[in-house]
Amino acid sequence: MRVFRSRGYSVTLVVMCLCYGGFFSGIVLIPLCLQTNFGYTAMPSLRWGFSQSSCRRSSAA
């Protein structure tokens, strides 16, 4: 495993794995948890998974 001797490659690989895990949890695991444990329906939990603040409507509208 000579390729892992490069510090830059190893750090980049770890960071990319962490980013993938974050995206996966935000898109798959959080909505699944909201549906099974808290009784959310599919659409509100999916919107919450992407961004809770982007789903709120402004009171000025």
Residues 26-53: pLDDT tens digits?
Answer: 888 888 888 889 888 877 666 665 555 4
In this prediction, residue 18 carries a pLDDT of: 97
**pTM value?**
0.58
* Inter-residue contact 26 to 34 (CB < 8 Å): no
Who wins on pLDDT, 4 or 21?
21
Phi, psi of 39 (to 5 degrees): 75, 20
pLDDT of residue 35: 85
What angle is formed at CA 17 by the lines to CA 24 and CA 50, rounded to 5 degrees? 25
Question: Would you state the pLDDT for residue 22?
Answer: 92
Residue 61's pLDDT band (boundaries 50, 70, 90)? Answer: very low
